[in-house]
Chains A and B, each alone.
Chain A
Amino acid sequence: MSLIASQPVQDVPALQQQGGCTDAPVLRERGQREVFCGLTGIIWLHRKIQDAFFLIVGSRTCAHLMQSAAGVMIFAEPRFATAVIEERDLAGMADVNDELDTVVARLLARRPDIRMLFLVGSCPSEVIKLDLSRAAQRLSKQYLPAVRVLNYSGSGIETTFTEGEDACLASLVPELPAESATAATSLLVVGALADVIEDQFARLFTQLGIDTVRYLPARRASELPPVGPQTRYLLAQPFLAETARRLEDRGATRLAAPFPLGIEGTTGWLKAAADEWNVAAETFEKVIAAPRKRAETALVRHRETLSGKRIFFFPDSQLELPLARFLARELGMELVEVGTPYLHRQHLAEELALLPAGTSLSEGQDVDRQLDRCRAARPDLVVAGLGLANPLEAEGIRTKWSIELVFTPIQGFDQAGDLAELFARPLNRRERLKV
């Protein structure tokens, strides 16, 4: 029997408290962080940008991480690989740049379909100060116009998990063509989304009368969206601090919004664009009425399972705050602790305002201490990475793998039910099992 089941049912505090978490205190932790590094982002980015290749310049550890992290071996020939630094490179017996050039030449000869090559820095390449930006320039000169070579760092010393996508997209921004100053105002949706979701949003924007909508990253490297002072951008993901900064350097303006998770988040996100385009309120309501209705229907069933249940987030993807907001406000869950690897107050201002006042927020991690807090609180559900999930289950604590929240299409109205189901499933399973 689950230990959870024997817990007395706790009173669920009223959720709609005033004030939110805008000025809430945050517990800042510095200790062992049980998180992936930014290289992991390649797992979804290489499927998203269909003619790009990601070459990690790193160690055997990097290569081992990539194949262990997400069961990606289903891809016969993935569009990523690792150039493994060896003893002779470090001992100066080989010129690292020459070696890299050779590896790239072999790779591009093997994959003539590749149009964009990312040289991805890792912990060892950063520590030995291998200048990948110069290497990228050198190689670009050699391979343009057939292949554009860019670089970014996905190293664990600089990036935490989803920050790898931020670094990748940020490296694309200087490459974007300039949008004419006389162009009509355009909308740029920033952050990798599943194609199916991108298509759903595209239809909604069209119905709202927003004509020029582009996406970063685009599905093909040759389709880089232009950017300029006429660009208004919406962040589709909460972890894109550096990309946003660079877009603003190019003159683009961010539309402040909550993130498109759940009904409320999706509505607020679309509304930010609708308001900028002066879409009439009744038009907006008409356009979103049907999908919102579907989402409402889809959530009812899961609210029965989730309402009143206590949830604890370990830091992972920076999606934690928007997810917590969705679970608390739309499904009636109680937030025990919401941990995030990094809290970007500006980009998350709308989310913080919507979170129930008094929510326990933590930033960074000291995993052993956080586990102590988690065990003491005995939540009904814990959102944690793959290293922690089974050990917690073995202690009788139900878990949801956080990585699934990054690999599954969860944004938008038509995925709200799927998103809720991801949290309901572990609890549902516990109910079924008589073992």
Chain B
Amino acid sequence: MKLTVWTYEGPPHVGAMRIATAMDKLHYVLHAPQGDTYADLLFTMIERRNKRPPVTYTTFQARDLGSDTAELFRSSVVDAYDRFTPQAMIVGASCTAELIQDDPGGLARAIGLPIPVIPLELPSYQRKENWGASETFYQLVRALAGPNAPTPGSEKPPRDETRRPRCNLLGPAALGFRHRDDVVEITRLLADLGVDVHVTAPLGATPEDLTRLGEADFNVVLYPEIAGQAATWLKRTFKQPFTTVIPIGVGATREFVREVAELAGLDPKPQLASEASRLPWYSTSVDSTYLTGKRVFIFGDATHVVAAARVATEEFGFDVVGLGTYAREFARDVRSAAERLGVEALISDDYLEVEEKVAELRPELLLGTQMERHIAKRLGIPCALISAPVHVHDFPARYSPQMGFEGANVLFDTWVHPLMMGLEEHLLGMFREDFEFNDDAAPSHLGAGHTAPVAAAAATFTTPEDSQDAGQTPAAQKHEQKHEQKHEAEPQTSVALWTEEADRELKKIPFFVRGKARRNTEAFARDRALDRITLETLYDAKAHFGR
């Protein structure tokens, strides 16, 4: 039994729903109690889909348990077929139905529907959402593409040279982080390179489309969490190689272009020469100097975390101070990425543990999921999202891919946006006694009459370069203040006394960084067993903690 407050992933049948909802003309009959229908709102509300997920729930109740839940399942399958006339059906059980062991697969098979009916075994008490999505996609691919497989051991016929090389695009699903736009971006990139997309799946594919997967020359795996298993099977069965580079960031996209060109037997040079990302120049331009060495913590699914770590270090010039994933299945990838960066990977699906780590490392930017956004808000740290799970406002109306060259532009904007601009930081440092910018003045954009936030002492950072949280809301500051108080309640045996002069100097430090300056100076004094903090101590401490 595990105590859980918030979860990164839902149960595995929600993963199956992400596949079914992404596809067309597929129906999912889920043996589940009343209440499990809540999962519909993930798609209709969070992703703003305009159709109900293609899922029929048996919604059994206690009184059904005493009679015949198997019959209820059977009639649900029959009714769903009659009403929705899908090309194929998947059937399975949610966590509760798994316990009553009605064997949905066997029951559905016995009906003898004239369409493929694919049973899913998704162990709810061992596995989670992404695993469920991967397993569902794999079972669908196997069942639907399998009958067209060549005889094992036969040679793969050479590609017809009169047509362009073609690939399948595997992995995009419902509720994925920017999957919709990544598909558009990568399809365009492949087209420019001279490669046609044969089938994109599961997003937008029909079961019939899946039967044609074997006709492609190779596969592009966008999200290994969802499509890795299916791609491995396709490689074995159809001798289709698949891509391993995830095209997130400029460097990885270039590598991806080369990998695809190699698989397709094409020349990558024209494509690479015409590359259109603004990231390299934006990152080079002098204004970005202030990004140098920003301390960043990265958490999410493995694919996005490993990619973000590379982009953060190579394309933004950040320091990655920590990274991790909630996806244990992919822990190895994240561990080796961490090793390359000389940090320890945090493999955990307990968001409290993640919060603790973030509080300890005090990064200047958090790249994560919606959980990390909450953590960031509480700790007053700027944050940008890089991975599912995400909320409704992370399904933007505008085109906003993460992948490809346009995706790199998006990364530049969204990661830099929460930070404060370089010159702005210096001005704050220079004019820290400005009459409009001190703890007694209200934020100027609120106009006269507003009182200043009270959280003056609640700051997080030491040096003026770190002044991002100047823009945070009073509410966030209050949260933070609470947090700070909690921290300051930790045993502090001897606090050195501030001389009047040092105290006056401390007050010249902008209010939003003053708390941290005070604490650092006191820690510095404590370590050196100083009983008084003088002006000298203050600046010695600044030099000690400054970079």
B99 at interface by CB-CB < 8 Å: yes
Q: Does B6 touch A at the CB level, under 8 Å? A: yes
Q: Is the CB of B44 within 8 A of A389?
A: yes
Decide yes or no whether A290 CB sits under 8 A from chain B.
no
| Alpha-carbon gap, A33 to B38, bound state (A) | 11
A224 — which chain B residues lie within 8 A by C-beta?
none
Q: How far is the CB of A46 from chain B (nearest CB, A)?
A: 12
A63 in contact with B7 given A32-B56, A37-B35 (CB within 8 Å): yes
Alpha-carbon gap, A102 to B3, bound state (A): 10
Please report which residues of chain A, range 60-96, place their CB below 8 angstroms from some CB of chain B when the two chains form the complex: 60-61, 63-65, 67-69, 71, 73, 76-78, 81-87, 89-90, 94, 96
On chain A, the residues within 8 Å of B374 by CB distance are 73, 76
* Docked CA distance A389–B51 (Å): 10
- A77 vs B36: C-alpha distance in the bound complex, in angstroms? 25
**Among the listed A65, A78, A157, which residue makes an inter-chain contact with B38, where contact means beta carbons less than 8 Å apart?**
A65
Instruction: Indicate if B492 sits at the interface (CB-CB under 8 A).
Output: no
- Whether A35 pairs with B62 at a CB distance below 8 angstroms is no
Contact status B33-A64, CB under 8 Å: no
- Select from chain A the residue with minimum beta-carbon distance to B98: A124
Contact check, A73 vs B370: say whether CB atoms are below 8 A apart: yes
The reply to whether B125 and A76 form a contact with Cβ atoms under 8 Å apart is no
Given A37-B34, A59-B11, A67-B7, A99 contacting B1 (CB threshold 8 A): yes
With a cutoff of 8 Å between Cβ atoms, the chain A residues found around residue B9 in the complex are 60
Known: A76-B378, A81-B4, A158-B61. A36 touches B38 (CB 8 A): yes
- Name the B residues within 8 Å of A368 (CB-CB): 79, 83
Asked whether A157 lies within 8 Å of B4 as measured between CB atoms, the reply is: no
Whether A51 is near chain B, meaning CB under 8 Å from some CB there, is no
Cross-chain contact A32 with B99 (CB below 8 angstroms): no
Distance between Cα atoms of A69 and B60 in the complex (Å) = 20
Query: Is B37 part of the binding interface, using a Cβ–Cβ cutoff of 8 Å?
Result: yes
Residues in B whose Cβ lies below 8 Å from that of A123: 33, 35, 95-96
Q: How far is the CB of B297 from chain A (nearest CB, A)?
A: 19
Q: B105 to nearest A CB, angstroms? A: 20
Contact residues of A between 17 and 51, Cβ < 8 Å to B: 31-40
Choice from A103, A385, A388 contacting B1 with Cβ under 8 Å: A103
Please give, as numbers and ranges, the residues of chain A lying within 8 Å of B38 by CB-CB distance. 36-37, 40, 65, 68-69, 387
Question: Max chain B CB contacts within 10 Å: which of A63, A94, A388?
Answer: A63
* Alpha-carbon distance A171/B400, docked complex (angstroms): 50
How many residues of A sit at the interface, in one of the four size bands?
35 or more
Q: How far is the CA of A102 from the CA of B7 in the complex (A)?
A: 20
Q: Could you say which of B34, B52, B125 contacts A391, with CB atoms under 8 Å apart?
A: B52
Taken together as a complex, chains A and B put the C-alpha atoms of A127 and B62 apart, in Å, by: 9
Is B310 in the interface zone, CB < 8 Å from A? Answer: no
For chain B, the count of residues having a C-beta within 8 Å of the partner chain is 57
Interface 1/0 per residue, B1-37 and A, CB below 8 Å? 1111111011101100000000000000000011111
B4 CB contact (under 8 Å) in A63, A126, A386, A388: A63
A387 in contact with B40 given A61-B95, A64-B14, A68-B46 (CB within 8 Å): yes
Question: Does A128 count as interface, using CB distance less than 8 angstroms?
Answer: yes
Q: Is there an interface contact between A83 and B57, defined as CB atoms closer than 8 Å?
A: no
Contacting residues, chain A, for B123 (C-beta < 8 A): 87
Partner of B62, one of A69, A87, A158: A158
Q: Which of B10, B34, B39 is A35 in contact with, Cβ under 8 Å?
A: B34
Decide: A89 near B1, CB < 8 A? Known: A32-B76, A391-B44. Answer: yes
Cβ 8 A contact of A127, one of B41, B96, B126: B96
The minimal Cβ–Cβ distance linking B435 to chain A, given in whole angstroms, is: 35
B52 touches A388 (CB 8 A): yes
Given contacts A61-B11, A124-B96, whether A386 and B44 have CB atoms under 8 Å apart is: yes
Residues of chain B lying within 8 A (CB to CB) of residue A69 = 38, 41
**Residues in A whose Cβ lies below 8 Å from that of B36:** 37, 61, 156
B10, A86: Cβ atoms closer than 8 Å: no
Q: Provide the residues of chain B in CB contact with A67, threshold 8 Å.
A: 6-7
| Interface assignment of A394: CB less than 8 Å from any CB of chain B | yes
Contacts of B37 in A (CB 8 A): 32-36, 387
Contacts of A387 in B (CB 8 A): 37-38, 40-41, 44-45, 52
Q: Does A197 contact B (CB under 8 A)?
A: no
Q: Is A411 an interface residue (CB 8 A)?
A: no
Contact A156 B50 (CB under 8 A): no
Contact indicator A76/B479 (Cβ below 8 Å): yes
Partner of B3, one of A36, A61, A68, A103: A103
Does chain A have a CB within 8 A of B130? no
Interface positions, chain A 385-411, Cβ under 8 Å from B, are 385-391, 393-394
Contacts of B378 in A (CB 8 A): 76
Flag B88-128 by CB within 8 Å of A: 1 or 0 each: 00000011100110000000000000000000000111101
- Chain B residues whose C-beta falls within 8 Å of the C-beta of A394 in the assembled complex: 50-51
Contacts of A57 in B (CB 8 A): 1
Query: Are A84 and B52 touching (Cβ within 8 A)?
Result: no
If A61-B36, A391-B50 touch, whether A127 touches B65 (CB-CB below 8 Å) is yes
B5 touches A77 (CB 8 A): yes
How many Å from the CB of B313 to the closest CB on chain A? 30
| A357 interfacial contact with B, CB 8 Å | no
Docked-complex contact B125 and A85, CB < 8 angstroms = yes
Query: CA A71 – CA B433 in complex, angstroms?
Result: 41
- Tell me if B35 and A106 are in contact (CB < 8 A): no
Distance (Å) between the CB of A157 and the closest chain B CB?
4
Within the complex, the shortest CB–CB distance from A343 to chain B, in Å, comes to 16
A126 CA to B63 CA in the complex, in Å? 13
Digitize B503-535: 1 where CB-to-A-CB distance is under 8 Å, 0 elsewhere: 000000000000000000000000000000000
Per-residue 0/1 for B467-486: is the Cβ within 8 Å of any A Cβ (1 yes, 0 no)?
A: 00000000000010000000
Q: Kindly identify which residue among B2, B10, B128 contacts A83, using a CB–CB cutoff of 8 Å.
A: B2
Residues of B within 8 A of A64 (CB): 7, 10-11, 14, 39
A38 to B51, CA, bound (A): 26
Bound complex: CA A160 to CA B59 (Å): 11
Q: How far is the CA of A389 from the CA of B61 in the complex (A)?
A: 24
Contact partners of B46 in chain A: CB under 8 A = 68
Residue of A nearest to B374 (CB): A73
A362 close to B (CB within 8 Å): no
Q: Is A100 an interface residue (CB 8 A)?
A: yes
Q: Is A155 an interface residue (CB 8 A)?
A: yes
Smallest beta-carbon distance A61→chain B, Å:
5
Residues of B within 8 A of A31 (CB): 59
Cβ of A107 within 8 Å of any chain B Cβ, yes or no, is yes
Question: Across the interface, do B11 and A60 meet the contact criterion of CB distance under 8 Å?
Answer: yes
> Does chain A have a CB within 8 A of B432?
no
B3 neighbours in A (Cβ, 8 Å): 81-84, 103, 106-107
**B76 nearest in chain A by CB position:** A32
Query: Is B291's beta carbon under 8 Å from chain A?
Result: no
Any chain A CB within 8 A of the CB of B58?
yes
Interface of chain B residues 151 through 198 with chain A (CB within 8 A): none
Complex Cα distance, B9 from A161, in Å, reads 23
> Closest residue to A90 on the B side, CB-wise?
B125
User: In chain A, residues 328-365, which have Cβ atoms closer than 8 Å to a Cβ of chain B?
Assistant: none
A32–B42 Cα distance when bound, in Å, is 18
B6 touches A155 (CB 8 A): no
Query: Which residue of A68, A86, A89, A90 contacts B41 across the interface (Cβ within 8 Å)?
Result: A68
Q: B7 to chain A: which residues have CB within 8 Å?
A: 60, 63-64, 67
Contacts A63-B4, A63-B7, A87-B126 given; 13 further ones with Cβ under 8 A?
Answer: A32-B58, A60-B95, A61-B13, A63-B5, A68-B39, A73-B6, A89-B125, A127-B65, A156-B96, A157-B34, A368-B79, A387-B41, A390-B50
The 6 closest A-B pairs by CB, nearest first: A37-B35, A156-B35, A387-B40, A394-B50, A99-B1, A123-B96
Residues of A near any B CB (own CB < 8 A): 31-40, 57, 59-61, 63-65, 67-69, 71, 73, 76-78, 81-87, 89-90, 94, 96, 99-100, 102-103, 106-107, 123-124, 126-128, 155-158, 160, 368, 385-391, 393-394
- Provide a sorted-by-A list of 20 A–B residue pairs whose CB atoms are within 8 angstroms: A33-B37, A37-B36, A37-B38, A60-B10, A60-B11, A61-B14, A64-B39, A83-B4, A86-B1, A86-B125, A90-B125, A94-B1, A127-B99, A156-B96, A157-B96, A158-B62, A386-B44, A387-B37, A390-B50, A394-B51
